Structure 1
Amino acid sequence: MKMRNPLVPAKTLATSLAAALLLAGCSMAPTYERPVAPVPQYFPNNPAQIAGQPATAQIAWQDYFTDPRLVGLINTALQNNRDLRVAVLNIETARSQFRITRSAQVPNLNLNAGGTRQRPSLLGNTVSESDYVNVGIPAWELDFFGRIQSLKDAALSQYLATEEARKATQISLVAAVATGWLAVIADEESMQITRDTLATREEGLRLSKLRFDNGVISEIDLRLAESLAESARATYAQQQRLRLQDENALALLLGTPVPPESIKGGLGALDAVAPMADVPAGLPSELLEQRPDIRAAEQQLLAANANIGAARANFFPRITLTATYGTASNELSGLFDSGTKAWSFAPSLVLPIFDYGANSARLDSAWANRDIALAQYEKSIQSAFREVADALAGRATLGDQLDALRKTALAEEARFKLSDLRYRNGVANALDLQDAQRSLFTAQLAATQTRLAQLQNQVTLFKALGGGWASRETAAAAPTTSQANQATR
């Protein structure tokens, strides 16, 4: 190994590294401009936004879902749900990958030590020896054309996309728990309606048997009463099955069995649920800042845009530096003696000349992936607009529908009472009474299901507007995407 004055190479190496750092980092990625949102300017069925109200995405979910039973279930799900755990672990994976990519911008420094013992000829007795200790920079690429910078930017966007995906997963989880819990409460209310109806029909069947035995009614009336009782019994069995299935689905979301006290219900159970706050829909453009899934899609678009820069840089020379500085000696005992200093400096340049179109194909692929990411970004905006518009349509109409069905149920209840009174006094026949029973039962169940749809629509609107990822602990302290971007860089 060549011997030199140790002070000269150190100064030369430092100067070379400084110059390389100043020259490196010219990005060849296309300038990014956020695409225009491919949706109308305003939501349909959207009242004017009230000034001063916070964006829905910034509302803590505890301030929206105020029923203490539901709050407890959501807390349990956030602690135990496996899908959310996977989303959090995906963030750690993406963060590690970003750190790996970023490390390529800084030269690695290794400590190398070694030695050899050899006898060149089997006939000779001379044994040669060589030992060395040095620190070195192994093959550090000077990023003149921004290839590594583009890869780092792509990795950063992927990391930020996984963070947004975690928020989107939490939003879906919170909404799913609320929707599932409301479904179980509605099941309990429907089962109570069916139990009351079954009791009424069984009592009617008992009276019909008594009247038939005394020759007051025909067998047709008896069989009709029996059919109605068995129909209610079959409906009740079906509701029990649905109730158990809904509870199983809720338990899967929670990651633990559902506490019985949190799902008790009965008549009026849905109306007893603590009300959810009304939320401002705002403008479609605000979804770009509120919905984590849209922000995640934009980060994927940014990553694809950065990959174009890396693909473009492949057409230009790639320069790497390898350098070492240390000591070398023919004897281990004299390894650190004066005059044993050694250094090496080995730059290299690789210029692609002919690769059978591989670099062109990589660039074409990068552009195609960017166009795919753009289409997916625009589709995420359109899907979000549709979800909000559907929820607003439900908010505008479900209240009127519920009011009409409840009035129908009250009218059918009055008709049933009158029909029962007329039947007991021999004025009306059994057919009129059974028809009133069926109509009342149907109207009561329809009112319950519509009330459930109204409450679940409120959950859907909150989710569609990006609500559910912020809590009271994180709403005030959560940084914006741009702040997180700057901090990570």
Structure 2
Amino acid sequence: SRSQYEHAIAVLVGKAPAGFAIAPVEGPLPEAIVPVTLPSTLLERRPDIAAAERRVAAANAAIGAAQAARFPVLGLTASAGFRRSDIADLITAPSRYWSLGPTLAATIFDAGAKKAAVGQAQASWEQAVATYRQTVLVAFQEVEDNLAAARYLDAAAAEQAAAVAAAAEAETIAENQYRAGTVSYLNVVTAQATHLAARRTANDLAARRLVAAVLLAKNAGGSVSAPKIP
């Protein structure tokens, strides 16, 4: 699993998995520092929100294009030529003509197609707006979920640290009692198992806190804090 994680990180940083390695860290897991609150402007960095916002802008522009297509097209043209039908008069100056003026092009009857195109563009815009709103709401939900998870995991980690300390003290007491001959070694083994289980739970909480911090950074659109490596 560790090798697969290394390979995935290598791909994310743009390196070949075969030539990428992360040295293992001895000791306790690094502590993840998660802020209590985050500015909502961080969500603007999320690719899905930026894409949804651009789709709204494109749909809005499409409404203008469809609306403009309903009106006649006015353009300026220039033309020149001859207007005599007699071949002998084609080379005379009075037979030449030229004109410069506007031309008007419009569809006489389109059975409401252009009006329907405007309605379609407006409906597409409303759909894009609804999608954008839903994308933003989902982003807020994901960030709030991870903030709540980080907060509760911090509280759980503090309680578990006290449990680890108490289990370590109980193990020490059991060892002293065994040395004094007042209890059997089974009491020591039981205390050691309890201490080990408490430490494993503490490590599990530390890992879950790191995952929550990473997910928070991902859902917020970028890094919000850096893990403190002891």
Match of 2:136 among 354, 377, 381: 381
Contact 2:59 2:124 in 1 (8 A): yes
1:324, CA displacement in angstroms?
8.3
Percent of matched pairs sharing the same residue: 34
Matching residue of 1:255? 14
What secondary structure is seen at the aligned counterpart in 2 of 1:267? coil
Contact 1:294 1:381 in 2 (8 A): yes
Matching residue of 1:264? 24
Structure 2's unaligned 5+ residue stretches are 81-97, 225-230
What secondary structure is seen at the aligned counterpart in 2 of 1:405? helix
| Cα distance in 1 between the residues matched to 2:184 and 2:212 | 43
What secondary structure is seen at the aligned counterpart in 2 of 1:251? helix
Partner AA of 1:454 in structure 2: R
1:446 maps onto 2:201 in alignment: yes
What secondary structure is seen at the aligned counterpart in 2 of 1:352? coil
1:458, CA displacement in angstroms?
3.7
| Cα distance in 2 between the residues matched to 1:323 and 1:351 | 19
Structure 1's unaligned 5+ residue stretches are 1-241, 326-342, 470-489
Distance 1:399 1:279, change over 3 A: closer
Partner AA of 1:281 in structure 2: L
Distance 1:323 1:443, change over 3 A: farther
Contact 1:279 1:462 in 2 (8 A): no
Partner AA of 1:307 in structure 2: A
| Cα distance in 2 between the residues matched to 1:384 and 1:295 | 12
Distance 1:304 1:459, change over 3 A: same
Matching residue of 1:368? 123
Alpha-carbon RMSD? 3.8
1:246 maps onto 2:2 in alignment: no
Distance 1:357 1:395, change over 3 A: same
1:421, CA displacement in angstroms?
6.3
Partner AA of 1:396 in structure 2: R
Matching residue of 1:311? 66
1:354, CA displacement in angstroms?
3.3
| Cα distance in 1 between the residues matched to 2:76 and 2:192 | 89
1:29-428 equivalent positions in 2, closer than 5 A: 242-256=1-15, 257=17, 259-260=20-21, 262-271=22-31, 278=35, 280-282=37-39, 284=40, 286=41, 293-320=48-75, 348-419=103-174, 427-428=183-184
What secondary structure is seen at the aligned counterpart in 2 of 1:427? coil
Cα distance per residue 1:7-43 (max 9 Å; x no partner): xxxxxxxxxxxxxxxxxxxxxxxxxxxxxxxxxxxxx
Distance 1:445 1:345, change over 3 A: farther
TM-score, normalising length from structure 1?
0.35
Partner AA of 1:268 in structure 2: P
Distance 1:362 1:438, change over 3 A: farther
1:366, CA displacement in angstroms?
1.1
1:417, CA displacement in angstroms?
4.6
1:307, CA displacement in angstroms?
0.6
Distance 1:441 1:347, change over 3 A: farther
What secondary structure is seen at the aligned counterpart in 2 of 1:388? helix
Count residues in correspondence. Answer: 205
Partner AA of 1:427 in structure 2: V
Cα distance per residue 1:312-344 (max 9 Å; x no partner): 22222234556689xxxxxxxxxxxxxxxxx88
1:388, CA displacement in angstroms?
2.8
1:373, CA displacement in angstroms?
0.9
What secondary structure is seen at the aligned counterpart in 2 of 1:315? coil
1:301, CA displacement in angstroms?
1.2
